[in-house]
Amino acid sequence: MVFIQKYYYVYILASSKNGTLYIGFTSNLPQRIFEHKHHLTPGFTSRYNVDKLVYFERFEDVKQAIRHEKRLKEWNRNWKKDLIEKFNPEWRDLYEDLNNVL
């Protein structure tokens, strides 16, 4: 029997450095970011062109990931910016690097 570990991701997208932010949750980060980048889902990120992956965390427990997503959404903007800048000081779009880090 082969056990395949499933992971869950909490991520932050930005329209630009210090721009509009969006926090989301998914079990397939590359696919979900692709959907945001190509505006495949109507809504906030498509309307405001929020499509640069600037932060993400990986979780093994789905409940923990959902809890963390909700907690981040309650943070004030400066706390979110500080979190991004600790992880990604240049606010680079991390999407292209996903295959190397996941």
In the chain, the amino acid numbered 17 is K
Tell me yes or no: is domain 8-101 CATH 3.10.350: no
Could you identify the residue written with the tokens 């926090």? 23
Would you list the domain boundaries of the chain?
Answer: 8-101
pLDDT band at 82 (very low <50, low <70, confident <90, very high): very high
Q: Which residues contact 55 (CB under 8 A, 6 or more apart)?
A: 11, 12, 83, 84, 87, 88, 94
pLDDT in the model for residue 21? 98
Phi, psi values for residue 61, rounded to 5°: -105, 120
Closest CA to 70 of 4, 36, 25: 25
pLDDT band at 41 (very low <50, low <70, confident <90, very high): confident
Taking 80 as the threshold, does the pLDDT of residue 1 lie above it? no
Tokens of residue 79, six digits: 């706390």
